[in-house]
Chains A and B, each alone.
Chain A
Amino acid sequence: MESRIFEELREIVGPRGLITSREELHTYECDGLTNFRVLPRAVLLPDSTNQVQKIVRVCHREKIPFVARGSGTGLSGGALPVENGIVISLTRMNKILEVDLANARVVVEPGVINLDVTGRVAPQEYFYAPDPSSQSVCSIGGNVAENSGGAHCLKYGFTTTHVLGLEIVLADGSLVHLGGKTLDAPGYDLMGVFVGSEGTLGIATKIILRVVKRPECVRTLLAAFPSTNEAGAAVSDMIAAGMLPAAIEMMDNLAIQAAEAAVHADYPNCGALLLVELDGPAAEVAALMGHVDEICRKNGAREIRVAQSDAERALVWKGRKAAFAAMGRISPNYIVQDGVIPRTELPNVMREIGRLSGEAGLRVANVFHAGDGNLHPLVLYDRRIPGQEETAEALSNRILELCIAAGGSITGEHGVGEDKKKMMSKMYSEPDLETMQRVRCAFDPLQLSNPSKVFPRPRLCGEKPGEYVAHPLETAGIAERF
């Protein structure tokens, strides 16, 4: 990159908004997935939409690839810089712009931290539902890119359920508004495609969120089972009984041990722990809690506890949310995997994971969003032992293949990013991937916005050879080709 370009970028964001020194750039060389590292040419810290547009226009003119970054907590390498590219960090765009509770809307900039949205509306007893485990540090912009989930999405849905409108900067620097404060804006649901597109379709600079009224009553139950089989059977029975809990989480013995060591959540030591949260009207929750208790006992739960206070409930969740990081207590290194299976495949897939784990000679701890079949197997290994890292990676990939074979997905909430793009061809056929990339070609024909992520191979965006047919919009003078 030539110095005149650095000069131009510095003029846009000011001297404090441009990072070019090698030492400082190292901070941005990876996201939460640390085994991929690329040093960007520069990091830009814009503080307004206008600055983002100006930066992107320079990138477009000079064909410089760019990667947008929020808090950098992603676990699939989505915010990994690209060779010879720049990183656009949105952390300075961190204002909550509007709180409109009459319509249950909150408008934010992308750098706003997830939990701060709830913090802002909590006094009026509203909350922002998507709750990824990293919610105290991850940004809404990053959540939009990844379509983040969380423990409570079983009942409340994902980020995409709660985003109503977006202001985005396209890869040519133009500004476009998708969705809005009202529902069902005429036209294609491009917002629905943008959410979860992992930064490949542009940069969100303003986000309209829906917030939700707090339920009257929340109750959390912990049930200790001999193994994940019994716990899984209890989950199936709850679903079959027509219940839709706010969350159903499962941890196996290794995960319990790690969480205990890290945050002393006072979990019972057992083969599998089920954490069930019900919310809603008090009378209904009370009745259903009795039913859940019954189902757990019938399936062999030997200890059942109901959190008696908000503090107890918070502690129960603290253990669960700390589970990934807690693995450091029981293993020097670990890989966090994220796969999805139809819930009914749980016993089969668990058995296979156990078998593969035995074969590889590596321990696998399991943390699941059991209600929706989202598995987080954690493959434990020691990098210092030669060959073990490769064995762990191979095992981790085998687990994803199990998920695909069971009719599931290679990612439920962490995204494809850099990490899983090769797995995409195992989950989807070539025409499926080509079709998705048509969207990419419409948004970003030069493929400058987070290129080389998500898809195993980029699609050429040129028009296919053949007879030229003018689009009706062109003939009507409404649009032109670009």
Chain B
Amino acid sequence: MDASVSAKATASTFEADVREIVAAKYVRTAAASDAVAGAQPSLVVEPGSELELAKVLKLANAAGLAAIPRGGGTKLEWGNRPARTHVILSTARLNRVIEHAWADLTVSAEAGCPIGKLQETLAKHGQRLALDVLWPERATVGGVLSTNDSGALRLRFGSLRDLVIGVTLALADGTVASSGGKVVKNVAGYDLPKLVTGALGTLGVITRAIFRLHPLPRETRTISCVTGDVREAQRLVFAIQNSKLAHSALQVCCGTEMQPRVDILFEGIEAGLTAQVEQVKSMLGAGINEASRDVWNARQEICSAGKKGETEFAFARFATLPAQMAETIEMIARLSAAVLRWQVVAQATGIGWVRLEGEPPVMESVLRESRAGLERGGGSLVVAHRAAGMSAFDAWGNAGDALLLMSAVKRQFDPRGALNPGRFVGGI
């Protein structure tokens, strides 16, 4: 029997075995729209429970077939093209909010629960997951955790690593394991919730997660200030950060056709907000105005596709030192000059997002050069969306001297490389 015949036999045995576990209508042949970063899977399975998911994963692992976990599919193209792909493990049916313990400020939800639905449930008791993710109506708990997505609120509330307090994972060998718990303060054992946050599903499939919550603010105010150049924007950001204001978010938006604008979000009670807004006005002087909350959609706008037929685009997340934000933006502007349209949304934490529009090969070289510049300063650049026509250059960049250790962790969790093979840093 030659290799391709044997592979076919394995795949058909696998499919038959899966059908023993998951009801027939939740197992289907993959369509072109199920492709992952250009790689075409064969099968899509929607398990109805954590246990079903673990069993299917175990089968795939035993058969040497690659599994790609999928939530809402909004960020499925992040990371490198999979080295192998066979089955999409969808969490679409694992979509419940399990328990909102509002008096304890915690929530437990299944991995496939959309963030928007979660926030609606929490809002009924005046609470929220203090995280502004991309495309919340479709993005799921598991997907957001696996991609470590966070927005402007991170400045005050931290990112997912600061909000997730427990996870349950299905490992490649079918083990179902939990770590952490439903109390905010807990140092018993290793912090696996942090390990799988941002791991792009390469260590296990997240099936459930528990988060700490925050109260919804009673009032919010947004102040915007258009500046002459990014250096001035940087000075304002530094002045605000170095003040005693208790702002929740602080970002700089700029681009080819946009003067740098600084946005500040205040949340709290009326008395505190009024005093702080007055303070900002006296600090920044002329040129500031109260703005609508819409300015906080800026990140999502630059990460979203344009209308069909419009210019090709790419976007990436970068990390720089907060004090080097202006230099970083200037570098991107300089590299893009006259060739590309560019837009940046950068947060005071040093995390920023850049969108480029133009000729794919030019975008690619700008991204590569920006990454090199950022890495020289200790930062990083991770490509999230590549335009058609760009090469499959590494999405992640340099993982430093910890790469061997990361590979050792991967081998412990997924020795046969069943989960999202080749999609993560250094070929993991």
Q: Which residues of A line the B interface, CB within 8 A?
A: 102-104, 125, 146-147, 149, 153, 157-158, 160-161, 170, 175-178, 180-190, 192-193, 195-197, 213-216, 236, 239-240, 242-244, 280-288, 340-344, 369, 372-374, 407-416, 420, 424, 427-429, 431-436, 438-443, 454-455, 463-464, 469, 471-473, 476, 478-479, 481-482
Contact = CB atoms under 8 A, between A and B. Distances in A.
Contact of A239 (B105, B272, B378, B401): B105
Contact of A185 (B161, B246, B399, B407): B399
B103 A189 contact: no
16 contacts: A149-B185, A161-B162, A170-B405, A187-B424, A187-B425, A190-B402, A196-B191, A286-B271, A340-B185, A373-B185, A409-B185, A412-B187, A413-B185, A424-B188, A433-B189, A463-B415
B428 interface: yes
Give the one of B188, B271, B349, B382 with max A CB within 10 A: B188
B187 A147 contact: yes
Contacts of B268: 280-281, 284
Contact of B194 (A193, A236, A476): A193
Give the one of A196, A213, A409 with max B CB within 10 A: A409
Q: Is the interface of A mostly helix, strand, loop or mixed?
A: loop
Contact of A186 (B192, B397, B404): B397
A206 B89 CA distance: 41
Nearest to A443: B405
The 9 closest A-B pairs by CB, nearest first: A284-B272, A192-B194, A242-B215, A435-B177, A438-B412, A216-B244, A442-B408, A283-B275, A102-B323
Contacts of B198: 184, 188-189
B12 to A, nearest CB: 21
B370 interface: no
A186 B351 contact: no
Given A184-B159, A411-B188, A431-B177, 9 more contacts: A186-B397, A190-B406, A192-B195, A240-B103, A340-B183, A340-B185, A374-B185, A409-B181, A473-B407
Interface string B401-424: 111111111111101110001101
B218 A242 contact: yes
B421 A472 contact: yes
Nearest to B104: A342
B428 A411 contact: no
B247 to A, nearest CB: 10
B238 interface: yes
Interface in B167-216: 169, 171, 175-179, 181-192, 194-195, 197-199, 203, 214-216
Contacts of A216: 244, 246
A176 B405 contact: yes
Nearest to A214: B244
A243 B396 CA distance: 40
B269 interface: yes
Contact of B183 (A170, A187, A342, A429): A342
Nearest to A200: B190
B174 to A, nearest CB: 10
Interface stretch (B40-48, B253-261, B314-322, B357-365): B314-322
A439 B61 CA distance: 20
B73 interface: no
B197 A469 contact: no
Nearest to A157: B162
B380 interface: yes
Contact of B412 (A161, A195, A215, A441): A441
Given A409-B188, A431-B175, A471-B411, A284 B269 contact: yes
